[in-house]
Structure 1
Amino acid sequence: MSQVTYTQPTRDDAATADLVEWHEARVAEHDDDFAAAKELVTRLGAHYDPDSGVATFGFWTPELLDEGVSVEDVALELLTPTEKLDYEAADEGGLEVDLHRDRLPVERAGEYHWVAVENVRAGTRDKFGAFYRLVYETDEGEETLTDPLAYSTPFGAFAPPELYDWESLDVSRADREYFEQLGTEEERVSTSEDDGLPRVDPANAMVEIHPGTATGDGTLGGLARQYESIGDKLEAGEDLTPAERNFVGYDGIQLMPVEPLTENREFEDYWREQGGDEEGLTVGLDRPDMINWGYDIVVSAYSATNPGVLETGRPDELVDFIAACHNQPEPIKVVFDVALGHADNRGAELLNDRYFEGPGMYGKHLHYQHPTVRAILLELQRRRMDYGADGIRVDGAQDFTYYDLELEENVHDDEFLAEMDRVTQEVAGTEYRPWMIYEDGRPWPREDWELASSYRALIDQHPHSFQWSPITFAHNTPALLTFWATKWWRVKEVCEFGSQWLTGVANHDTIRRGTQIDPTVEFNQSPVNPYLGEDYPETLDAAYNNPASSMFFYCFAPGVPMDFVHANMRAPWGFIRDTDSIWNVKVVSDESKFIYWQVHDEQFQRPEHFRRIKDLGFADRAELLTFMNALSAAVKSTDYDLDVMADMLSAMDQPLGDDLSAEDLEEYAYAWMQDIHDFANLAHWHDSQDDERTAFDLAVRRFRQERPWLRGDVDFEGEEYYGYRHPTEGTVLYYGFRVSPTGDEQLLFAANMEGVPVEVSPELLREEMPSIPTDGWEVALAAPDVREGEEVELDNAQGIVWRREP
């Protein structure tokens, strides 16, 4: 590493006094604690002014007052690298770095601490800045506090954050023109109903992407380059590869969460302090490589980006990815998946007790009613979205609850959800309101939630908002026979009032649930659909990606259809995380049926797959399947007692030996998670993409893009139709008739959603829809292998759309 110039940071007394004065003025202006907090939290964290070179730091620290810590015993600690920090070296096996250590006194105002600093190094795209934290003395010794509102955490949420030049990042973003035009292009935005700010309009079609497995390197940088390459090809009129087609045809991308995650206590820290003195500190560094689907957040540093998906450790990668989407020949909106409904248990190590109301289903339940916590969570949302997102998907909105003392029960904090809706964004000098999407399955977790949920509670409260539909939410099982018949009551709702729903069967949750089904069960569930494939993996792949369901959602149904890129690629997907040191074995046991659904024998035998599992002795898929079934049974029979489980599994013939320990099971679980994470990487599946299928899938999406009017509800009281044939006679035939708002185009749709072949034609469909015209129809789109004629035979999962001009 090369030496870098170092100038000792100094406290700016005048700017510090201004901070305290500003704080006191804000408090004096408001009688309401929440109103005051909403202003105060905007200055929390570290903010660097590139014009003056001054950085301001603010911390909300009520715990220091509770502990009786004197302000004289509190300081801001700055840790500045003595040499240029090589992040790639940290990725290759660890890095040892020397840091200058400086401590500066702070000022206290109420429960807050403030300080302004000159000559402090700020991080940029090309260099790392100073790391910082609050330090204080107690009777037991020295303690540290992190910044929950940091912009950059290159070594994870449990390491000191980095001062980052956020203003310069915004100024240099490559999609500034996109935001400058925001509000001027009618097709992109509509005027907000309350204050005249533009609100981003919904997409016509969206794809969900997990950045950790979407490209070979599993980073946002890699994903940005992929979209830049695709954009260049589209601009030049070049053909896309079958694999590339799976990423396009959309004007919206829902990015799975990219916030800093919890970390596994059993693994070595990415930031390891190895010694130092008053002037310096030596640390060992590793580039974080947590395996996770993104939802196990600690809330702290939510405004930063998970370094596990950053190849450079620079927040610029997320901005670059968004810019690559915005700068496509046909711009793509980016929707962030915001999971502020809970915190992982380790969040309590980073946040003070005020943040939590108590334990929750996923760890810690956040204290939404506390005025400062409430304000900070909203500020974290604002900072997260200011990376340049067009939309926000609020994960698990039904989980935003608080305990009502009078009712003596948890109630939904709908006012907080309304506050989330009021947050505005400012990017590249443009203020706007994002497209709002809520995932809300209330009255979940009530046992009858799937039957009772309307999926419209938030739409009723916020008429501009969208929700995930009942077809999209959680427990979809299209690989089982009769799914499309038994779900008809929900499909009917999509047709009648689904214009503000996200629809489709494939997403990160539904495929995971699909792989958890035991396909060998003969009672208490529908059988596996025998028409979808020759084996279980082929069946699952076709269940979540087939012409019939795609054509229903894209060529007929209201709402915004959404796919999952892993389903498009017909690639494996499961529940992946190695961040849980307590429940990791149980999580793996829940995935025991993954092998049935996602792994062929020849795939298991490939040397690039399941390398760690093979190193543990599992030589073939059948042997692995037997052990996974036994592991699942042991979890259930012992109530997850690892020691007893180890004894039980030691008695069976399996490669791990006859003297298993709890540690052996944990080692196996981590090996499984890492192998599945690698197995699911889409780079492995590029060469297996079918040219005809991917071309058809893209054609279906383009059909929708050309007809945005299809998003509106079916006018079943007018001349439009929807339905499915009764009696089924072995085939669930969906059909429908739609008319463009101008009346210049009519569409006739039919699809064999599941079952034996069936013949269809405009004439035959007239039996179901007596008033439709029967002449003048021409085929607009047909599934591969459908032979066109006066009458068309649709096999299982095939569909057809005719069009006519009246």
Structure 2
Amino acid sequence: MVVAAAKRIRFIEDETLSLVEWADSIQRDSTTTYFEKAQRIAHRLGTNYRSDRLTEIGFWTPELAGDIIQSEHKLELEIFTPIDPIDFRAKEQQARFRRSRIPVIKQGEYVWAVVYGLQAGTRDQAGCFYWLRYEDADGKVQIIRDPLAYSLPYGVFAPAELYNMRRLQRKRADLAYFRRTGSSTNLSDTTIPRIPAPTSILQIHVNTASAAGTLEGLTEIYQRISDKLADGQTLAPEEAVYAGYDAIQLLPVEPTIEYRREDTTGEHLFFSIHSAPPKAAKVLPSSTEEDVPVPPVPHALTSDFYHKPTVTLRKPNTQNWGYDVPILGSSATNPAVLGSLRPDEVIDFVATLHNFSQGPILLIYDLVYGHADNQALDLLNHQFLKGPNMYGQDLNHQSPQVRAILLEMQRRKINTGADGIRIDGGQDFRFFNPLTDRVEQDDTYLLAMSDLAQNIQGYRRLMFTIFEDGRPWPQEGWEEISRYRELIEKKPESFQWGPLIFAHNTPTLEGYWDKKWRRACEVIFQGNRWITGCGNHDTVRRGNQINLDKPINWNLGSSLVEVLNTAYNNPATQIWVQGFCPGLPMDFLNATVGASWGFFRNTDDRYGVKVASEEIGFLDWQVSPEIYEKETSFVQIKQLGFTSLEKLRDFGKALQTAMVETDYDLEQVAKFCSHCLGEDHGFCEVPALEDLNGPNLPRFLATLDVAKLKKFAMAFMEDSHNLCKVSNFFDQIDPTTAAFHLALRHYRRSHSWLQDNILGCDRFNRISNDQQTLFYGLRCHPETRKQSIAMATHMGGLPCTVNLDEWLQLDMTQWKVVLATPGIPEAALKDLRAFELRDGQGVLLEPI
């Protein structure tokens, strides 16, 4: 990593005063609303590395209003300039930095500075790191971080990195794509084009989607697939699972929470500044700094405090499904998904998708702005937050400044080149309206997120938008009364997650599709703006939580693992969704591969045991003895003494029971476990623990305490997360099944009219009784109105004979099979007037 030549860092007074005057003029403008003023100011907050090589820096600091700080000189911009080369791929290293402290100017609730001499980060050069510091009334140093940072290579608790975003955008490899799909900035907002909807989406969790677990790992995969298809080569099964989609939705790639121990004040985990003071700290004259000549600056405005601390840098290794966000830095990318820790890696991935040989693949960001994790309390000023909720903290969207900053975060995020957004938890955007004296949905903000324009090198676009909104969730009975239409009725060009993809899918159970018949009909008759399908990050996780005493559909497999894998990648379901249903189908990569999946995180000390106990079902539904016995599986857990999957399951279930019985009191859980596992275990308040006692009991269990519970939880979640990498399961992908699903996706793309709701000449019905459920139907082409597609799928139960000629009044001798699920004997489909289907099988037919 290149280190730039040192420059004299100095505060530029006249430029800063000009910036302050600009902000003053906006706030004095009586013709605009508070929100409009806040939006204009938010656009220049954070850092802006200008073409004249000066850097503008702005912070919103309402916590510093009034008399909180006693003297102006205590408020400074602290800058860390790398002296030694930084290897952003090193797991751990030490590097020296030159520390500078620069004055700033307060302007109401804002702080501004224009600085000369800061080096901006690039692919090959580390930039300066920065944050704001001040001493409070008690003389304690407080840190204010940049919520709008572009680069956070060492996480949310470390200083942000100044980055040359102007250069990065100018050199991106997909500019031609934006020229084709965007409009010039001199056009009015009403003429900005909105990205049209794709035909099928693949949902991806970056950390588990490649062996590398990074965006560059995905870039390598998609570039290889692109090259092979361009050369006319056949894809391997482990490549086919990624192909055939024209859109990719990433699970959130915003920075997530980081591991904080409860018994510490929380040292900077990835950016640890050595505390030894310099031998002689001094204020240098404004005209001298290591023989670098600079123009004189009034000494009163120069407060550069130099010494050279050593910093231990650790490459972030946070594991999280992405929804535990502190909001700070949401405009940046989670460093844990960047192998290089450089923003260029994001642009490389986006450009690879846009330049894909078979046509552009859209990138959809999953945005989490409905809630913040409690860790936000340590990172943001409290005006961002308005109180606790079930996830952590509610965001104060009604504050003009907060609203403007959140939208600015989103603008910077989508300016990396996204084509669409998926807005997480739309039902969570609520506020109390004193005018109506009730809690209302903040739909105005949600629609503003959809109408936020992207601007890349002068070309503007509006995002393809998906809302996840199941209101009145979490109200009791929400699943039956949710309409999933509130937002698409207000924004007709948008999509919403439909009822079969939203959350609580349990297709592993007998009779599931029969019970969902009403919702299935809604998909058919009104689902043209719904995201359809069955498998996503949430539904597969719910599958892990099904109690084993439920009626499991054993037609789908001979083990729980087989049942779950088939249920969420069911060929019959896919025939119905991809080949027949209106709407926009979405698959989840881990489900299509048959890879494990769960909500695992190594970012939590306080709630880690609770989360682990809630995910214990993962061991039943997604871990077989064969998987557990692999040398690379559950390495840390085995080191604790759990050499068999059976013992681990037993302890996990006992832990789950103890957590519920004690209301998650870890001291009590440890006490109960110790009591049950000790010599006097005749009476055990948690009966399941009795089975673990014996001569081979691991010492870990015999000496159980709170610290060991936390150690177990961390080991369980890290091992489980590592297991979930799809590359661990490539060898079990069935080539025939992978080829079938790929052909089905190609079929969908060549029949894009299937997205529309069914016509008057179309038909959809079911055969349902105590023994089986079948879906069947007929669709006509919307232009010719001629019969085009017939479908029959077996959705559960015993084998059944299909009589489409009778059910649909068709002459089946004039029809042919275009796609059939694997496993149906070819001879069985020679006479289409009557043929047998088994659970999970289906056919798609067209006229001869």
TM-score using structure 1 length: 0.95
Give the corresponding residue for 2:285: none
Give the corresponding residue for 2:612: 588
Give the corresponding residue for 2:422: 393
- The offset of 1:109, in angstroms, is 1.7
Give the corresponding residue for 2:220: 225
> Which one of the candidate residues 693, 697, 703 is aligned to 2:741?
697
1:363-416 CA distance string (max 9 Å, x none): 111111111001111111111111111000000000011123355543211111
1:517-542 CA distance string (max 9 Å, x none): 112x1xxx5x0002100110000000
- The offset of 1:582, in angstroms, is 1.5
In structure 1, what is the Cα distance between the partners aligned to 2:129 and 2:481? 50
Q: Give the residue type in structure 1 aligned to 2:750.
A: E
In structure 2, what is the Cα distance between the partners aligned to 1:306 and 1:375? 22
Give the corresponding residue for 2:284: none
Q: 1:193 to 1:427 in 2, by over 3 A?
A: closer
- The offset of 1:67, in angstroms, is 4.3
Give the corresponding residue for 1:234: 229
Give the corresponding residue for 1:72: 73
Residues 4 and 84 in structure 1, CA contact (< 8 A), matched pair in contact too: no
Give the corresponding residue for 1:796: 839
Equivalences, count = 782
Residues 257 and 375 in structure 2, CA contact (< 8 A), matched pair in contact too: yes
Give the corresponding residue for 1:561: 585
- The offset of 1:648, in angstroms, is 1.8
> Which one of the candidate residues 789, 800, 806 is aligned to 1:758?
800
Verify: 1:35 aligned to 2:44, yes or no. Answer: no
Q: Give the residue type in structure 2 aligned to 1:83.
A: D
Give the corresponding residue for 1:200: 195
Q: Which residues in structure 2 correspond to 1:402-417 (within 5 Å)?
A: 402-417=431-446
Q: Give the residue type in structure 2 aligned to 1:616.
A: L
Gaps of 5+ in 1: 185-191
Q: 1:499 to 1:2 in 2, by over 3 A?
A: closer
Q: Which residues in structure 2 correspond to 1:587-666 (within 5 Å)?
A: 587-650=611-674, 651-652=676-677, 653=693, 654-655=697-698, 656-666=700-710
Q: Which moved more, 1:382-391 or 1:774-783?
A: 774-783
> Which one of the candidate residues 428, 449, 453 is aligned to 1:424?
453
Residues 101 and 306 in structure 2, CA contact (< 8 A), matched pair in contact too: no
Q: Which moved more, 1:785-794 or 1:474-483?
A: 785-794
In structure 2, what is the Cα distance between the partners aligned to 1:456 and 1:66? 46
In structure 2, what is the Cα distance between the partners aligned to 1:538 and 1:621? 17
Verify: 1:544 aligned to 2:564, yes or no. Answer: no
Q: 1:755 to 1:67 in 2, by over 3 A?
A: farther
- The offset of 1:769, in angstroms, is 3.0
> Which one of the candidate residues 433, 450, 468 is aligned to 1:439?
468
Q: Give the residue type in structure 1 aligned to 2:470.
A: G
- The offset of 1:183, in angstroms, is 4.7
3-state DSSP class of the match of 2:100? strand
Give the corresponding residue for 1:188: none
Residues 725 and 768 in structure 1, CA contact (< 8 A), matched pair in contact too: no
- The offset of 1:422, in angstroms, is 2.0
Q: Which residues in structure 2 correspond to 1:275-314 (within 5 Å)?
A: 275=275, 276-277=277-278, 278-280=305-307, 281-314=309-342
In structure 2, what is the Cα distance between the partners aligned to 1:429 and 1:85? 33
Give the corresponding residue for 2:259: 264
In structure 2, what is the Cα distance between the partners aligned to 1:66 and 1:553? 59
In structure 2, what is the Cα distance between the partners aligned to 1:719 and 1:471? 25
Q: Which residues in structure 2 correspond to 1:25-424 (within 5 Å)?
A: 25-29=25-29, 30-49=31-50, 51-69=51-69, 70-89=71-90, 91=91, 94-141=92-139, 142-183=141-182, 195-266=190-261, 269-275=269-275, 276-277=277-278, 278-280=305-307, 281-329=309-357, 330-424=359-453
Give the corresponding residue for 1:187: none
Root mean square deviation of aligned Cα: 1.6
Q: Give the residue type in structure 1 aligned to 2:815.
A: W
TM-score using structure 2 length: 0.90
In structure 1, what is the Cα distance between the partners aligned to 2:789 and 2:155? 52
Give the corresponding residue for 2:294: none
1:476-533 CA distance string (max 9 Å, x none): 00000110000011011000010000011100000000011112x1xxx5x0002100
Q: Give the residue type in structure 1 aligned to 2:208.
A: T
- The offset of 1:31, in angstroms, is 4.4
Verify: 1:533 aligned to 2:572, yes or no. Answer: no
- The offset of 1:227, in angstroms, is 0.8
3-state DSSP class of the match of 1:337? strand
In structure 2, what is the Cα distance between the partners aligned to 1:295 and 1:121? 33
3-state DSSP class of the match of 2:669? helix
Q: Give the residue type in structure 2 aligned to 1:279.
A: Y
- The offset of 1:66, in angstroms, is 4.0
- The offset of 1:103, in angstroms, is 1.6
Q: 1:623 to 1:174 in 2, by over 3 A?
A: same
- The offset of 1:201, in angstroms, is 0.6
Residues 89 and 341 in structure 2, CA contact (< 8 A), matched pair in contact too: no
In structure 1, what is the Cα distance between the partners aligned to 2:3 and 2:807? 78
- The offset of 1:657, in angstroms, is 2.8
Q: Give the residue type in structure 1 aligned to 2:844.
A: V
- The offset of 1:13, in angstroms, is 2.3
- The offset of 1:312, in angstroms, is 1.0
- The offset of 1:669, in angstroms, is 0.2
> Which one of the candidate residues 739, 749, 769 is aligned to 2:780?
739
3-state DSSP class of the match of 1:502? strand
Residues 180 and 428 in structure 1, CA contact (< 8 A), matched pair in contact too: no
Q: Which moved more, 1:410-419 or 1:330-339?
A: 410-419
- The offset of 1:129, in angstroms, is 0.2
3-state DSSP class of the match of 2:52? coil
Give the corresponding residue for 2:292: none
In structure 2, what is the Cα distance between the partners aligned to 1:273 and 1:629? 42
3-state DSSP class of the match of 1:473? coil
Residues 647 and 659 in structure 1, CA contact (< 8 A), matched pair in contact too: no
Residues 723 and 736 in structure 1, CA contact (< 8 A), matched pair in contact too: yes
- The offset of 1:241, in angstroms, is 1.0
Identity percentage of aligned residues: 40
1:578-599 CA distance string (max 9 Å, x none): 2122111111111121111111
3-state DSSP class of the match of 2:659? helix
In structure 2, what is the Cα distance between the partners aligned to 1:306 and 1:143? 24
- The offset of 1:765, in angstroms, is 2.1
3-state DSSP class of the match of 1:200? coil
In structure 2, what is the Cα distance between the partners aligned to 1:291 and 1:756? 42
Q: 1:16 to 1:2 in 2, by over 3 A?
A: closer
3-state DSSP class of the match of 2:652? helix
- The offset of 1:107, in angstroms, is 1.6
Give the corresponding residue for 2:818: 780
